[in-house]
Amino acid sequence: MKKWIGTIGMLTMIFILASFTSKTTKKVSVPSSLKVNEPTMVLFPKNKTTLRTTSIFPPFIGSSYVGFKEALGFKESSGNYFITNTYGYLGKYQFGIATLNLMGVYNASQFLLDPELQERAFYTNMARNKWILRKDIGRFKGKRIKGVQITESGILAAAHLAGAGNVKRFLRSYGNHDKCDAYGTSISAYLQKFGGYDLSGVSPKRNPKV
């Protein structure tokens, strides 16, 4: 008997709660102006709104070899492996065909489509230039020329821009021979922009091949 009384009491409570909820809950209608009746067009990026400058900045990866090569690659091509400029220079680091040939790369199309090969070529060229300029690095590192502090990384960046021979002439003329590339970028500009990186991990090598 007690069991039946408990069951009836439970059912009575459920009925009362259900009745109370149905009476107190009101149906909320959405104003027609806020209803979505069809898909809406996405405005980004054509009509995007930005809260800061749209300038692109290179990634900061410290002062190691990785930071150096990424900063230089960004300056040369905005980091684009697959670009050829108006003068025929190729890839992320904007190599000329003659320089690639010196390192054993002869197929320009293959080189342009192979980021791994481009990275190997960049390291190989750094090692080659470091060998060619080893005496000048030892002689001029720490000095100031045309107001620029001379560093190993600055010298190697300038050699990438204008060739090791022109960097030698710049250093030995104390800045009188400041060659520019086809776009007007000078050796002294690269010496300053890429100074202070640690390239001790790049070993100088005579006539290296990729």
Whether the bond between 59 and the residue before it is cis, its omega within 30 degrees of 0, is: no
In 3D, which of 152, 158, 151, 95 has the Cα closest to residue 122?
95
Does 17 fall in a domain?
Answer: no
Does 105 fall in a domain?
Answer: yes
Mean pLDDT confidence for 84-103:
96
Does 121 fall in a domain?
Answer: yes
> Mind listing the pLDDT tens digit for each residue in 45-74?
333 333 344 444 555 567 899 999 999 999
Residue 46 CA from chain centroid, whole number: 24
pLDDT at 44: 35
Report how many domains make up the chain. Answer: 1
For residue 28, what pLDDT band results from cuts at 50, 70 and 90?
Answer: very low
Q: pLDDT exceeding 90 applies to what percent of the chain? A: 69
Cα dist from 176 to 61, 84, 95, 113, whole Å: 33, 31, 26, 39
Does 201 fall in a domain?
Answer: no
> Mind listing the pLDDT tens digit for each residue in 164-207?
999 999 999 999 999 998 889 999 999 999 999 999 999 999 99
Task: Using a cut of 0.85, tell me whether the model's pTM lies above it.
Answer: no
Q: Who has greater pLDDT, 17 or 136?
A: 136
Both structure tokens of 196 = 């202070």
Which domain covers residue 125, as residue numbers? 65-193
Lowest mean pLDDT among 8-12, 59-63, 151-155, 189-193: 8-12
Whether residue 155 has pLDDT greater than 90:
yes
Does 144 fall in a domain?
Answer: yes
pLDDT at 63: 85
Mean pLDDT confidence for 12-30:
50
Does 110 fall in a domain?
Answer: yes
Mean pLDDT confidence for 122-140:
98
Does 48 fall in a domain?
Answer: no
pLDDT at 161: 96
For residue 137, what pLDDT band results from cuts at 50, 70 and 90?
Answer: very high
pLDDT at 13: 57
Q: Mention every residue, 6+ apart, whose C-beta is less than 8 A from residue 89.
A: 95, 96
Does 27 fall in a domain?
Answer: no
